[in-house]
Amino acid sequence: MNKLRITSITSVAVMLLSLTGLAISPAGAAVDRTGKTCVQEGRVVNSGGVTYTCAYTKSGLVYSQGRKLSGSLTVVCGAMENWCAAMTKAFTKKTGVETKFVRLSSGETVARLNAAKANPEFGVWHGGPADGFGVARLDGLIEKYESPTRHMIPAKYQDTDGYWTGVYVGALGFCSNKKELARLGVPVPKSWADLLNPKLKGQISSAHPSTSGTAFTTLWTQVTRLGGVEPGMAYMKKLHNNILQYTKSGTAPGQIAGRGEVAVGIIFSHDCVAYREQGLPLTVSFPSEGTGYEIGGVALVKGAKNPEAAKAYIDFTLSAEAQNLGPTVASYQVLTNPRAKLDRRMVTLKKLTIVDYDFGKASAAKKALTTRFDAEIAVAPKV
Amino acid sequence: MKLDLITRIVLVCTIAVLALLIIFPLTNILITATHENGRAVFSSIFSSPVTRQIIKNTVLLGSTVGVLGTLIGFLLAYAQTRLEFRGKKILHIISLIPLISPPFAFATAVIVLFGRSGIITRDLLGLSPVLYGYPGLVIVLTTSFFPVAYMNLLGMMRSLDPSLDEAAASLGSSKSKVFVKITFPMLIPGIASSFLLLFVESIADLANPLVIGGDFTVLSSRAYIAINGEYDVAAGAAYSVVLLVPGLLVFLLQRYWAQRKNVVSVTGKPSGRVRNIESKGAKFFLLSIPFAMSSLIIMVYVTVLIGGFVKVLGVNNEFTLDHFSYIFSGIGNDAIIKTTLLALIATPIAGILGMILAWLIVRKIRRGRELMDFLGMLGIAVPGTVLGIGYAVTFNHTTKLGEFSLIPQLAGGGAIFGGALAIIMVYTIRSSPAGQRSGIAALQQIDPAIDEASASLGASGVVTFKKVTLPLIRGALLTGLMFAFARSMTTLSPIIFITTPDTPIMTSKILSEVDAGRFGNAFAFCTILIVLVSLAMSAINLLVRGRSIESLSNPLN
């Protein structure tokens, strides 16, 4: 009996020793895997405490630059709660870096990053809008980081100077309540002109362009497609007659339409799809004259406490593997990585007419346009 | 008046606490308001009709809610103390329910019921009113805030000395004359303080203007827009400074008015018995508004409750337990436990702070009492967004005085306790004002001769406070505590700027669910929150009342 125990203890000890030996031996001969070919995107190998991730870099599917990952990471996330949760959880699982998030709107993020400039609490800003990154860059809140997988992303979905990179794209669309449209005897709107139908008076909901990036996209889309500020504002003025009220939040018009308070809400189509999936009687359509879009991006926070982990997280968000998590948590934005899977609930951008949206120009014009909107349109009587 | 040592120490500590909780963070944010963009806001008051309209809207909203809420609170309190009718106790409980109004729930339920395609308006009455804007805001804010006025006035009316009424009646005055000449003047401090509280609260409220405000922009939502939509903290801070002005004016007015008409009614001398109104017509008239109000409250809360158990309320009313299982399966548990814990810590601090402030203001300090009162009220007078940013700017790093670390980092991810202290601080400063106001109203009614008697028998200021004053204002303290807990559990806007991954807060989870269009989950969350707060309120009620020697002005009697 005793003998048996001793034998078992010895064998366990031997096993343990051999295990440590196994763990130690690669460290003794740590191999730099950078640039070595690999077979499956997203696969992670650890060699000598350095993590190498298999990624599509400029030289094909290879292990990208190794990183010594440790500690924890806090992400400030601008997308839907479960999207943020899925992304951070997957990253933790992959790398062992304990990753948490706080969900904030872009204005709140900029305010908080500014408040804690000297002592940043976040490492990465994930899911923020292009204009938010623009402001953050001007305020010196984000840092340039060009991920090895960045070249995969179409150039128009990323900052030319490398401050941020797009992870998803959302197209502006019409979110209509079928029941209300039927009640009013109006067909599903297919163009910006359709929205001016007098039968839709007080039946359209849009957010206010000062409060909501969505609504500003609507405004700038008019300016772009009609070829100038004046005709753009003129359209908004006509549309004003049919607007019930301007909401503060960008997604609210979809919910208001869903509850039948209005017939049509102007929002990003993926939000409308998400509401429809929740059981609201909604249908999505797009304007034939052309529509605008938003980019949700990812950026490195300046002075991030754990820059290696933050950079690894950004690399991860650009991979098809990470982006494919979107539809699993009811986020149906178009993914920027061309290798990411297309979900049938996503819109195919190629099938839409997209206006030539200039984010730089739009940001520069924002203040003047929203002030004019406030003074000339929002207060105008409805005719 | 010379203050004894202990009172002085209490005074200094109180000022230090206020400095830390509100003066310091607000000063930091106000400095921001003097930046270029902030100054542009100030000059726009004179130059821009848009800004002027916003200010007008704010004052209009605050005054309407202040008047209506105080009136409803008064009628309910009057019914409780001067009328006999069936369902009195139930009416009382229903009147307290709106103290627990989670952000969004109330406004959404009102839209579901009374909106353009509302269950009652369209389906039953065939109407399609547009609630977004001023009418919706008035309904929602009045209903959510009137209970504070009610509790305030109820406490006072319970402690009014009926012998004065009796004397007047025996001298041949009619009931209405007794009311106008005797009862009403004695209630003026309570009415004035209720109006002030409702005015200030409704103009600083943010969640409701965002959900149901529509085009009707007020200063608090304008400040939010500046920060959230325009990335302009300076302008946001400037709008908040403008917001303080009407609050300050109303504050000074009510002080002036209430002070002149101050009537002491708790004298420690024996008093008579209240004589109730018997006339059927008068009863019907006086009870119509309270009963209409309580029906509205019931409808709204039943809507919230049902909303958590059906797929999409008003759209697909199929029964489901999915929402609750979603919350309890992961995302909710942590938030529920941590939010409750933080609120439980903040509640006694806020309640006691409010009472001490009231005591110092009414009894102890002469010079600077207005200032002290105002500082104590600042926590609810500034919009939550601005308070939150003030906290983020101030407490996100160690505050140093030269080489010496004065205050450690309290807010943000890297702070001690994962940033929980800053949240407790915000809860405290946002919920102590209600206790302060009801404490002041209660103390103003109590004859200082009682205190003086105690002092002349050799008791120190603190002993007098503990043995004499506190038992007399127990009702006010109870109001303060219950309100503090409810308030903490439902605070949203300042929390956004200081929440960390370690401190998940229920209200911000509710907001996430609303954003994602998962109303069922949001309603279920609200139901859980309402249940938790009701339980805690009952516990506080039992605890405070249980220790009471004689609950003279206890509103829950």
Whether A23 is covered by a domain: the verdict is no
Give Cα A126 to chain centroid, integer Å: 7
Partner-chain contact A121 B412, CB within 8 Å: yes
Q: What is the pLDDT of residue B388?
A: 87
pLDDT in tens, B221-277: 888 888 877 888 888 888 888 888 887 787 777 777 766 655 566 666 655 666 666
Whether A39 is covered by a domain: the verdict is no
Q: What is the pLDDT of residue B260?
A: 60
Whether A222 is covered by a domain: the verdict is yes
Q: What is the pLDDT of residue B267?
A: 64
Partner-chain contact B517 A260, CB within 8 Å: no
Measured between CB atoms, which of B117, B221, B518 is closest to A278? B518
Q: How far apart (Å, rounded) are the C-alpha atoms in residues A74 and A125?
A: 9
Same domain assignment for residues A308 and A280: no
Its pTM stands at 0.83
Nearest CA of chain A to the CA of B99: how many Å? 26
Q: How far apart (Å, rounded) are the C-alpha atoms in residues A373 and A368?
A: 9
Q: How far apart (Å, rounded) are the C-alpha atoms in residues A309 and A320?
A: 19
Same domain assignment for residues A175 and A159: no
Q: Which of residues 88-127 of A touch B (CB under 8 A)?
A: 100-108, 110-112, 114-116, 118-119, 121-122
B522, B442 Cβ separation under 8 angstroms: no
Nearest CA of chain A to the CA of B216: how many Å? 9
Fold exhibited by the domain B5-266+279-546: MetI-like fold (1.10.3720)
Of all residues in chain A, the one with the smallest CA distance to B29 is: A115
Same domain assignment for residues A359 and A254: yes
Whether A30 is covered by a domain: the verdict is no
Of all residues in chain A, the one with the smallest CA distance to B493 is: A108
Measured between CB atoms, which of B50, B209, B514 is closest to A374? B50
Same domain assignment for residues A159 and A177: no
The CA–CA distances, whole Å, from A242 to A183, A198, A200 equal 17, 7, 6
Whether A26 is covered by a domain: the verdict is no
Whether A357 is covered by a domain: the verdict is yes
Read off the amino acid at residue A31. Answer: V
Q: What is the pLDDT of residue A2?
A: 52
For testing the chain B interface, which of A103, A200, A203, A366 should be mutated: the one with the most B CBs within 10 Å?
A: A103
Q: How far apart (Å, rounded) are the C-alpha atoms in residues B529 and B102?
A: 7
A vs B, Cβ pairs < 8 A, gives 159
| Residues on chain A touching B515 (C-beta within 8 angstroms) | 80-81, 249, 251
pLDDT in tens, B46-61: 788 888 999 999 999 9
Measured between CB atoms, which of A119, A245, A262 is closest to B215? A245
Could you report the predicted ipTM of this complex, rounded to two decimals?
Answer: 0.80
Quick one: CA torsion of A57, A62, A65, A69, rounded to 10 degrees?
120
CATH assignment at residue A144: 3.40.190.10
State in Å, rounded, how far the first CA of chain A is from the last one.
97
Question: Taking the domains of chain B in order of start, what are their residue ranges?
Answer: 5-266+279-546
Same domain assignment for residues A139 and A205: no
DSSP class of B277: B
Measured between CB atoms, which of A81, A213, A247 is closest to B516? A81
Enter the tokens of residue B283.
Answer: 């009863």
Q: Which of residues 313-332 of A touch B (CB under 8 A)?
A: 330
Whether A217 is covered by a domain: the verdict is yes
Partner-chain contact B53 A116, CB within 8 Å: no
Same domain assignment for residues A280 and A329: no
For testing the chain A interface, which of B315, B338, B521 should be mutated: the one with the most A CBs within 10 Å?
A: B315
Partner-chain contact A110 B231, CB within 8 Å: yes
Partner-chain contact A118 B499, CB within 8 Å: no
For testing the chain B interface, which of A259, A269, A371 should be mutated: the one with the most B CBs within 10 Å?
A: A259
Contacts of A316 (CB under 8 A, 6+ apart): A53, A90, A91, A94, A95, A322
B50, A375 Cβ separation under 8 angstroms: yes
- Containing domain of residue A101, as a range? 44-169+294-341
| Residues on chain B touching A279 (C-beta within 8 angstroms) | 311-312, 315-316
The parts of chain B modelled with pLDDT lower than 70 are 1-2, 258-278, 401-402, 413, 545-557
Same domain assignment for residues A224 and A354: yes
Enter the tokens of residue A337.
Answer: 């990585």
Q: Which helix (H) or strand (E) holds A300?
A: strand A293-301
Same domain assignment for residues A54 and A163: yes
Nearest CA of chain B to the CA of A76: how many Å? 10
Q: What is the pLDDT of residue B65?
A: 96
Partner-chain contact A74 B221, CB within 8 Å: no
| Residues on chain B touching A374 (C-beta within 8 angstroms) | 50
Nearest CA of chain A to the CA of B339: how many Å? 16
Q: What is the pLDDT of residue A22?
A: 46
Burial of A283 (0-12, 13-18, 19+ CB in 10 A): middle
Partner-chain contact A108 B214, CB within 8 Å: no
| Residues on chain A touching B133 (C-beta within 8 angstroms) | 245
Same domain assignment for residues A234 and A332: no
Q: How far apart (Å, rounded) are the C-alpha atoms in residues B192 and B198?
A: 10
Partner-chain contact A261 B117, CB within 8 Å: yes
Partner-chain contact B230 A367, CB within 8 Å: yes
Same domain assignment for residues A249 and A364: yes
| Residues on chain A touching B397 (C-beta within 8 angstroms) | 116, 118-119
Q: How far apart (Å, rounded) are the C-alpha atoms in residues A53 and A62?
A: 8
Give Cα B102 to chain centroid, integer Å: 13
A295, A83 Cβ separation under 8 angstroms: no
Nearest CA of chain A to the CA of B37: how many Å? 12
Whether A28 is covered by a domain: the verdict is no
pLDDT by residue, tens only, chain A of 383 residues: 455 555 555 555 555 544 444 444 444 457 788 888 888 888 888 888 888 988 888 888 888 888 999 899 999 999 888 899 999 999 999 999 999 999 888 888 998 898 888 889 899 999 988 888 988 999 999 999 999 989 989 998 999 999 999 999 999 999 999 999 999 999 999 999 999 999 999 999 999 888 788 899 999 999 999 999 999 999 999 999 999 888 877 888 998 899 888 999 999 999 999 999 888 999 999 999 999 999 999 999 999 999 999 999 999 999 999 999 999 998 999 999 999 998 989 998 888 999 998 888 888 888 899 889 988 998 788 87
Partner-chain contact A260 B117, CB within 8 Å: yes
Same domain assignment for residues A139 and A285: no
A381 at B interface, C-beta within 8 A: no
Partner-chain contact B496 A260, CB within 8 Å: no
DSSP class of A53: E
Of all residues in chain B, the one with the smallest CA distance to A255 is: B517
Same domain assignment for residues A135 and A175: no
A64, A55 Cβ separation under 8 angstroms: yes
| Residues on chain A touching B211 (C-beta within 8 angstroms) | 252
| Residues on chain B touching A261 (C-beta within 8 angstroms) | 111, 115-117, 132
DSSP-based three-state secondary structure for B361: helix
